[in-house]
Amino acid sequence: MCDTIIARGNVTADGATLFAKNSDREPNEAHHIVVIPAADHAPSSRVQCTYIEIPQVAHTHRVLLCKPFWIWGAEMGANEHGVVIGNEAVFTKIPYAKTPGLIGMDFLRLALERAQTARAALDVITALLAQYGQSGNCGYQHATYYHNGFLIADPHNAWVLETADKHWAAERVQDIRTISNGLTIGNQFDLASPDLVKYAVARGWCQSRDDFHFARCYSDFLFTRFSQSRARQCRTTAQLAAQRGKITIETMTRALRDHGDDANWSPARGIASFDVCAHAGWGPIRGTQTTGSLVAHLTPTAQTHFVTGTAAPCTSIFKPVWLDSGVLHAAEPAPTGEYDAATLFWRHEQLHRATLRDYATLSALYRDERDALERRFIADAPAWREQSREDRLAYSVGAFAQADAAEKQWTAHVLARAGKSRNGFLYDAEWRAFNRAAGINP
């Protein structure tokens, strides 16, 4: 389950477009941040995606990918032209193809590598969808199949693209828009696949174009309902709408960290609850959690991205990245599904998983320091956007190092204070299983 949100420049405080997303995956499915350089490719060359090869294009753009470690594509990312995309699993009435093919995260990376505008990215995805369809397992240790929705933006335009197999509808974003794990486009849309309505009429989902409603006709009721996508989408929309005209980067980070209005919130509560800042636990839909987060600040002349690279934004720090500056932690190995202290994701998991023992008490030990450090990174970013690429890289690397050092101290404090877990037996048992599988002992 994921959430992706956008506020265009006509409703933000500084006129920039702001885009944000939480990537929700299995707890041990390490999140990886990588920059892929632009490249020229020989005629007739091919590119290996997660499962299949397809023809490569003559030139691919430089991209920033925030991705599950084992997948070729990404759940969110950006390119050198200021295009950003996030994808969402959506559940439809059309059966999911299980043969290895292109998955939603592959479409996302292919669009970033091949498109210079949001509309061009939409066209890349829909053309590939028409040619290849979408198919294949999208889960790490638990096979998962779904169709995909996308929020696509650049400094000038933004689109929501939602798909059901090879069928799709697209809506231009006017100001505020959020998507979650369900179809949201209704009877009004700007673009669509040629047979979108005809297919629904033929199956008795509607009578004609007059009563056609994309989400109502194509959605799978059960999975869409249990994903709680509607509640989360309404929550993020309300948060942005309340700040209309005043929306900032901090507005977006707060939305990604949201646990609702319950002052006594606990990650152990409920067997089917799923907040925007998602936490895994025991229950039928609680096998995933937020493993990485991104906020993008887009203007025609500069784009700054703030990434966690780590799980649970409520325990993480958003750090600045400029796409042209290079790989941030190139000396580190790529993370895997097992604990490795040499990687950013797993170092943070010591802090995150220890905090879960008594979230309310232990997160309070470092929350104020976390917020102060992050505010400084956000406040400094506009000045650094004007500096040389080398200087921006140095600042970004320094920000990651400062965050890493701070988290090391916080981890020591949390471990010193953490006593017996205050969570229930089933929740603790589930996390013991996650920890055993990863080889981590927080």
| Residue 97, domain member (yes or no) | yes
Q: Is 2 a catalytic residue?
A: yes
pTM of structure = 0.96
- Count up the domains in the chain and report the number: 1
Q: Which of 361, 359, 358, 350 is nearest to 409 (CA)?
A: 350
Average pLDDT of the residues in 107-111: 98
pLDDT of residue 367: 97
Instruction: Over range 189-205, report the average pLDDT.
Output: 97
- What would the two tokens of residue 179 be? 């998507």
Among the residue ranges 312-316, 334-338, 391-395, the one predicted with the least confidence is: 391-395
Domain membership of residue 374 (yes or no) is: no
Give the mean pLDDT of 283-309: 94
**DSSP E strand boundaries for 154-253:** 158-164, 167-172, 176-179, 191-192
Residue 223 lies in a domain: yes
Please check whether residue 132 lies inside any domain of the structure. Answer: yes
Give the mean model confidence (pLDDT) for residues 41-63: 98
- pLDDT class for 201, splitting at 50, 70, 90? very high
Is 49 among the domain residues?
A: yes
Mean pLDDT of 300-306: 95
Q: Is the pLDDT of residue 271 over 60?
A: yes
pLDDT of 16 higher than 60: yes
Mean pLDDT score, 70-98: 97
Query: Cα torsion for 113, 86, 89, 274, to the nearest 10°?
Result: 150
Which pLDDT does position 261 carry in this prediction? Answer: 84
| Inside any domain, residue 401 | no
Q: Residue 418: pLDDT above 90?
A: no
Residue 291 near residue 25 (C-beta atoms within 8 A) = yes
Angle separating helix axes 344-355 and 425-438, nearest 10 degrees: 160
Averaged pLDDT for residues 343-366 = 96
| Domain presence at residue 387 | no
When the pLDDT of each residue in the chain is averaged and rounded to a whole number, the result is 94
pLDDT digits (tens, 9 = 90+) for 363-376: 999 999 999 999 99
pLDDT over threshold 90, residue 419: no
Does residue 227 have a pLDDT over 70? Answer: no
- Write down the pLDDT at residue 330: 57
Q: How confident is the model at residue 79 (pLDDT cuts 50, 70, 90)?
A: very high
SS3 236: helix
Residue 328 has pLDDT above 80, yes or no: no
The answer to whether residue 416 sits within a structural domain is no
- Residue among 306, 227, 296, 290 nearest 257 (CA): 290
Percent of the chain predicted with pLDDT > 90: 87
Q: Using pLDDT thresholds of 50, 70 and 90, give the confidence band for residue 2.
A: confident
Residue 308's contacts (CB-CB under 8 Å, 6 or more residues apart) are 31, 292, 293, 294, 316, 317, 318, 319
pLDDT reading at 286 higher than 90:
no
224, pLDDT greater than 90: no
Burial-class residue 5 by CB neighbours within 10 Å (0-12, 13-18, 19+): buried
Containing domain of residue 287, as a range? 3-331
Instruction: Using the predicted structure, report yes or no on whether residue 361 has a pLDDT greater than 90.
Output: yes
At 264, is the pLDDT very low, low, confident or very high (cuts 50, 70, 90)? confident
Once rounded to an integer, what is the mean pLDDT over residues 402-431?
Answer: 93
Q: Which of the following is catalytic: 2, 66, 138, 314?
A: 2
Query: What is the domain-level CATH number for residue 139?
Result: 3.60.60.10
Q: What is the pLDDT of residues 127-185, one digit of tens each?
A: 999 999 999 999 999 999 999 999 999 999 999 999 999 999 999 999 999 999 999 99
pLDDT at 284 over 80: no
pLDDT given for residue 226 in this prediction = 67
Residue 102 pLDDT grade (very low, low, confident, very high; cuts 50, 70, 90): very high
Choose among 188, 107, 215, 195: nearest CA to 151.
107
Helix (H) or strand (E) holding 431: helix 425-438
Between CA 396 and CA 120 the distance in angstroms is 30
Looking at residue 420, its pLDDT comes to: 84
What pLDDT sits at residue 329? 57
